[in-house]
Structure 1
Amino acid sequence: MSQSQQKVVQYLNEAHATEVGLTRVLQSQIAMTPRGSYRSGLEKHLTQTRDHAERVQRRLSDLGSGNNPLQVAVGAAGGVIGQVLAFAKTPVDLVRGSGGEEKVLKNAKDACATEALEIATYTALERLARSVGDTKTADLAASIRSDEQKMLDSVLGEIPKLTDAVVGAEVEGNGSYDLSKTGAADAVRDAGEKAKKTAGGTTARTKRGARQARKVPGVAQAEGQAKGAVASEEDLAIARYDKLTADEIIGKLSELSQIDLAKVDSYERKQQNRTTILDKVTSLRGEEPWPGYDELSVAEIESVLGEGDDDRAKEVRTYERARKNRAGVLKATERDLANA
């Protein structure tokens, strides 16, 4: 490979890495953006960005550089699990109902900066490619740059409206941000509807996939928060929730998993917003001893504890005492620590 080709490949690799990174950013922004023209633009550009990455990848392969370390798979986090993983990155203050308008505006400003970087990246790539006689790469760069310019113009056009929403929420006290209309909430709702129409075997696979996703730190709470935003009373882990007093609900909270606590948190904030319940939920929420802990049975937890990790046993004991307080789990932690 000539020196000029190596330079073109370098710039293509940089462009590809940028597209892959933007895919993740767009998923995160879509997850926390309510329905409307801005989110529609983000969703359209996510499709474009995946296409851009594939086109750049094909050009790299044509140039004999198909196995470089920067080539990362695009789109693996699609669908509801991808949305939930992205939603897991949402700051706690946004998830719990404050500052949504400001966060969306900040994301839009960040998007402008990202698009400007991409425009510069493809401008440089086009110039380099034409200088060394690589017309195919130059035309590819020009085509993608045009898409990025259109996206930048589109986002800039949304900034005034998003700023007005911030003024309404933080100056005039008339907030418009609705968690139940975000991309993450819509994805959860759509997945739920599809699950109802799906037969047993596929439903079981879907549930197994969700359990696997919850083994990623933060996903269980994020999934519960999104589901709670669109949940009805029947969807909660506490039966007859709306008919119970605050004290009765508080008495049942310690039995819930992190995903169900997050669901109650979001549902309660949307409905009666009782401080006593929300404070109790907050005190019970926290990181599991290990990702996926709440999905395990007592026997499965005992099996993990049998590996003899003292620090893990202490974490389990503290977590379990403050929540489900299951005798079998606590006895297993004591056995493990006694044998240390």
Structure 2
Amino acid sequence: MTEPDSSRSRPQGAYDVFLSFRGEDTRKTFTDHLYTALVQAGIQTFRDDDELPRGKEISQHLLEAIQESKISIVVFSKGYASRWCLDELVEIIKCKYRKTGHIALPIFYDIDPSDVRKQTGSFAEAFVKHEERSKEKVKEWREALEEAGNLSGWNLKDMANGHEAKFIQEIIKDVLTKLDPKYLHVPKHLVGIDPLAHNIFHFLSTATDDVRIVGLHGMPGIGKTTIAKVVFNQLCYDCGYGFEGISFLLNVKEKSEPNDLVLLQQQLLHDILRQNTEKINNVDRGKVLIKERLRHKRVLVVFDDVDRPDRLLDLMGEPRWLGLL
């Protein structure tokens, strides 16, 4: 069976995610829904559609796909402990140590992490057969399962009250954050920045449903952008305020022409929704999309280098159209 373009025939390093799963357990249900959501979010995902014949070794094609991926998502189900899934898992754990930055992300679909870690329950039954047929591999399989069971991951039973669609949405957000962290670089040993940043942070971090707008103004070169970055990092990552979307738009003043504003609108929508949106043909259409797609979301947006207030009106219409904090 031929794999969709998003998961086959890509150059090395082009895969964002490798999906490891037991086909007969979740191929047509959870894994298919997860795969579709990953692709719709613009995440280049490898999913093998060809179930290996019983007793066959994992193919070089699959090994290379694991090695070429940035993240391996392992969907643990009751039937996962087949020899080919376990071979995939061994390679995933090896890549976690061999390849700098490779992330192994377990999902415990219908099984408890302790069953994976200790090989109990349905995994114990599978290993009775493995001890008879594949004794030489059992040790490395058990070690890989023990390690995977101890990794931080996602448990459907504990998340979103077992609501699968919401569960998948949370996984997508996590994957996107791991692939493209928005933490902004700021210089070390900043002089005079922290007190100013703290005051702004305190104002913005107060719990409220209101739209809040803060303007930083002053002479060029005094550190306004740096202060904004410090506050942005604190609100988004250091303190975990649970924004549904974040965006830091640089150099707004330089992008005041209609075509440039359209690009800023497109970036704003992409940053917050974390997926490709329809192509914006003009500024007015961009304003409509911002109003329709973002007004009910809790978001944090920083507009850098805005020389006139009407620039924001030109860009997004009324501030209340954004669920700004």
TM-score > 0.5 by shorter chain: no
More strand by percentage: 2
